[in-house]
Structure 1
Amino acid sequence: MQWQNVGSSGLTVSRVGLGTMTWGQDADEETAREQLRLFTEAGGTLVGTAARYSDGRAEAMLGDLIGDLVARSELVLAVQGGLTRSHGGVRRADASRKGLLDSLDASLARLGTDHVDLWLAPVRQAGVPLEETLSALEVAYRTGRARYVGVSNQAGWELALAAASAGFPVVAHEAEYSLLNRTVEREATPAALALGVGVLAWAPLGRGVLTGKYRGQTPADSRAASDLWAPYVEPYLTGRPHRVVEAVVTAAKGLDLAPLEVALRWVMHRPTVAAALVGARTSHQLKDVLAAAQEPLPQQISEVLNEVSAPS
Structure 2
Amino acid sequence: MDWREVTIYTTTEGIGPVEAVLEDNGIEGYVLEDAADFEEFLKDTEIYWDYVDEDLVREKRAQETCLKIYLSDDEAGAKQYAALRTSLENLKARDEEHAWGRLVTETALTRQEDWEWGWKQYFKPFPVGHSFMIKPSWETVDDAQGRRILEIDPASSFGTGSHDTTQLCMCALEDNVKPGDTVLDMGTGSGILAIAAAMLGAEVRTVVDIDENCLRTAQENAEKNHVSIGRGLCGDALRDEKLAEDIGSGYSVIVANIVADVIIGMAPMFFAKTAEGGTLICSGILNERADEVRAALEKAGFEVVNHAKSDDWSAFTAKK
Q: Is the TM-score greater than 0.5?
A: no
Please identify the structure whose Cα radius of gyration is greater: 2
TM-score with structure 1 setting the length? 0.31
Higher relative contact order (CA closer than 8 Å, sequence separation 6+):
1
Higher strand content, 1 or 2: 2
TM-score with structure 2 setting the length? 0.31
